[in-house]
Every structure is written in C-alpha cells, then in structure tokens.
Amino acid sequence: MSFSSLGLSEKVLSAVESSGYKEPTEIQAQAIPHVLERKDVLGIAQTGTGKTASFTLPMITLLEKGRARARMPRTLILEPTRELAAQVEENFQRYGINHKLNVALLIGGVSFAEQDRKLEKGADVLIATPGRLLDHFERGKLLLQGVEILVIDEADRMLDMGFIPDIERICKLIPFTRQTLFFSATMPNEIQRLVDTFLHNPERVEVAKASSAADTVTQRLAGTGFEDYEKRATLRELIDNAEDLQNAIIFCNRKRDVATLFRSLDKHGYSVGALHGDMDQMSRMAMLESFKTGNIKILVASDVAARGLDIPSVSHVFNFDLPIHAEDYVHRIGRTGRAGREGAAFSIVTGDDEKALDAIQKTINRTLEWIGEPVDFEAAAEEKKARKKNRRGEKSKSVKEGRRGKKDSSAKKDSPKLNTDESVEFSSASEIDFQPIPISQPVQRRSSNRRNSGNGEGLTFKESGHIPAFLLRDTKRKVAS
C-alpha cells in the first residue's frame, strides 16, 4: 500500500515523498481514511509506529479549504508536554511545506506576548499544552468556537499528569459538532469514560495490543546491588559492553538522580547531557537539539523524554531505575527501535524491584532475559532485613550515647566555674559558710528634708552587715495644729 491510495492531497503526497517516506505504517494506513471522512477515531498503537503522521497528514489535507480568523483557531491539538508539542509543530512544518498554514504553539516557558501575536494573525493549527491554553482563554486572547478538529495525543499520559479535568473543561468549550481524535500507545480503563463522553461512534484503530513493545527492540535485565554506586558501576559496564552503540537515553525516576548520574558520567569522561522538568524551556530544547545532532552521545533524562519524542537514531535505552508505572516502560524503550529499526533496551534491577519487574513483564506479556545471574529476590529481602536490623541497632546505640553525652554536657554546663589557679574542695553543703560581705565604712546619708537641714546632722549607721531599704527612706511626721 502507498500513501497515494489513502486519499491525501497532491501537495501532501509531494511533501511526504520529499521526506523520504514511501509506504504508510499500519496505524497510518488504517486511521488516515477515517480522519479524511470526518469520523471520530480512537487510535491505539505501540510507540514508534507513526501515530503523529496519522493525524497530521489528513489534517493538512482537510485544511486546504477554508481560512482562519483572528483568535479563532480551526484545529486544536493537545499534548501533555512541551517537547511533544514542539515535535508536532515540526511535523506540520515538514509535511505542510507546500501549504501556507499558520501554526501556533502555546507552551509554557515562552512569553505570552509572542504567542498572542500568532493568535491575532489567525491559527489554522493550534498546538498547546492544557495549562497554557486555558491561561490564554481566561485572558480573553483565545476563542474556541471555531475549532473543527480536536486531537488529544498521548491520552494516557494526560491522565498520569492530572490533565483530565482541564481536558474535560476544554472539550466543553469546543463546538459539539467537532471531530475528535484520540491517539495513545496505551489505553487504561480510567479514560474509557472520557472516550464515551466526548467521542461519537468512534472508529477504533488498534494495530497492536495495548501496552505492548515493538518486536524490533532487544530487551535485557542486569542485576546489581542496593547502593547507588553499585548501580552506576553496572550502568557504565553496560554502556562500555553495548554493541553498536551510537547514542543512548538513560532514564531515572527522580530529577535529583538525573543530576547525580549526569555528574558521575561526566566525571568518567562520557559525552553526556541531562534533561528533566525543572529545566527552563530554552535549555530543554537546546539539550534535545544537541542530542539529535550528535553533539552529545548520552542523554540522562526523567520521564519527560519518555513519551512520543521522535529521535529516529537512538540505538540504546537504559533504565537506571525501573519505572514506577509499568506502562511507562513501554514508552521508555519505545525511544529506540523506531520505524522498523533495530534497538536495544537494558534495565538495571536491584533487590527492591521485584514488584516493579513483575508488573512490567505482566504488562508486556513477556519474560525478559537476564545478562548474567538474575537477582535472587529472596536473598535480597533477607539482606535488606539484616541491614535494617543493624541500622536500627546502630541508631539506638547512637541515641543512647547521645543522651549520655547530653547529660554529661548539661552537668558540665551547670557546674560552677572554678579559678584554675586555685583548688577548692567541698565535702558537703554544710561546710560552706555563706557570710554576708561586711561594709568596711559606715554609711552616712544626709537628709534632704528642710526641717532637718539646719541642724547639720544626718543619720549615721554603724558598721553592719545589712541595711534594710525602709531605713534609708525619709520620715515625715504630721505636726498637730
């Protein structure tokens, strides 16, 4: 089957041919005719099979007729991440080279003013993340009454990132007569309600079992110890022994682990970069471009790079951490072996990963092979218990020593400071003779009373150890009249 048999326009076919594609993938062959017929489509296919082109190509054909108005886009494509949105924009620029389509990209990390200018010109295609789209709508810079086609890409990722409420709100702002397209590599049961609500008699296109991995990817497991330094050593060994490694993506679960692993690999002399969600948009795009052009060979990334990124030449994927959600494993290894190419995926497994590994193998319906000896999870569990017990004992010991040290320090703090030049010994409290300090000179106080000022005499107190304060006050007497 060729692209010419799918009903695409001559301009689109010319752009596809110039891009080097001759035959459509299975998802493209099945989905494109339904989209051209203005039907709702629910597309499920494993990652790397060309889902993006299955909706961009027919959309460009349909947009040849008509014209966009200011602040009223004709089509809307929702993406979960900035990188995916930018990638879809690249697809429209590539396949729409023979068209004069206005494409607007609304993502975070870019100034509102520049995006507002694009909307004012009128957008044939609006590609956006849900949050930034609603920001523009609430500011009164965007009207959605003219949307003819709505595309929700990576719907399962939208669910994971908590965008479903935003999507429901957006769908209610768009005309009921729109055409809706759902595309995803996995289709959890949770979003079936969303499909039933916003799709009308959709054509279900499923070219592979949901949550399945491409057959062109070789998958292996490598066991290691609990400590991070052991995992890093195992990773370096896998990289050094990998066959035909051109470039690779290494996935970590946490952003701080991305930074730590990046510094470690950089220290060991690898050509490496880092990508995670806390980076600003310019840095993220620059890092992706450096990886695509080959300026860096290894990209350490969080799951922000796991979904839909089209980097055809990725030869290897390494899971430094097994993903928290089993479906993310499919997306991660889908960065390699794309468009029929061969790829390899290696996952590092510790004694803590038994449940995660079982979930992954159940999801892909496959038992993965080990490099070397597999992890003995029972022995690892016993070792972990022993470690916890030892740590608990060391902690209680340190706490006791801390308390003892605290008592000693408080005792030292409360004890009187003695002159180092003298030695003083107290056998008991009764032997300490507390005597008041005697006043060597008599204390005289001249009265300021005018009645006593003329006699030249004042009050005189003999030597005494203590003078009550009331004796120092002037006495005043009432004179009887």
**pLDDT value for 383:** 84
**pLDDT value for 36:** 96
**pLDDT value for 400:** 59
**pLDDT value for 310:** 65
For residue 41, what pLDDT band results from cuts at 50, 70 and 90? very high
pLDDT, tens only, 56-91: 999 999 999 888 899 999 999 999 988 889 889 999
Which has more confidence, 214 or 268?
268
Q: How far apart are CA 35 and CA 148, in angstroms?
A: 12
Are 3-206 and 217-382 the same fold in CATH?
A: yes
For residue 194, what pLDDT band results from cuts at 50, 70 and 90? confident
Q: How far apart are CA 64 and CA 462, in angstroms?
A: 119
Q: What SS3 state is found at 292?
A: helix
- Separation in Å, CA 173 to CA 85, 104, 192: 21, 19, 21
Would you give the DSSP letter of residue 72? Answer: B
Q: How far apart are CA 439 and CA 462, in angstroms?
A: 10
Q: How far apart are CA 353 and CA 349, in angstroms?
A: 6
Q: What is the 3-state secondary structure (H, E, C) of 20-63?
A: CCCCCCHHHHHHHHHHHCCCCEEEECCCCCCHHHHHHHHHHHHC
**pLDDT value for 390:** 77
For residue 247, what pLDDT band results from cuts at 50, 70 and 90? very high
For residue 289, what pLDDT band results from cuts at 50, 70 and 90? confident
Which of these, 171, 156, 201, 197, lies nearest to 38 by C-alpha position? 201
Residues near 304 by beta carbon (within 8 Å), at least 6 away in sequence: 81, 83, 275, 276, 277, 284
H or E segment at 371?
strand 369-371
For residue 424, what pLDDT band results from cuts at 50, 70 and 90? very low
Which has more confidence, 319 or 336?
319
Q: CATH number of the domain at 217-382, please?
A: 3.40.50.300
As given in the structure block, the two tokens for residue 41 are: 């489509």
Which of these, 299, 301, 255, lies nearest to 278 by C-alpha position? 255
Would you give the DSSP letter of residue 81? Answer: S
Q: How far apart are CA 131 and CA 272, in angstroms?
A: 31
Amino acid at 140: G
Place of tokens 């809307």: 76
Statement: residue 373 has pLDDT above 80? yes
What's the mean pLDDT in 28-50? 88
As given in the structure block, the two tokens for residue 169 are: 């709100």
Provide the greatest CA pair distance for the chain: 136
Q: Classify domain 3-206 at the CATH class level.
A: alpha beta
* Torsion, CA 123, CA 127, CA 131, CA 136, rounded to 10: -10
Statement: residue 437 has pLDDT above 60? no
**Domain spans in the chain, listed from the N-terminal domain onward:** 3-206, 217-382
pLDDT, tens only, 115-174: 999 999 999 999 999 999 999 999 999 999 999 999 999 888 888 788 989 999 999 999
User: Alpha helices, DSSP H only, in 420-473?
Assistant: 450-453
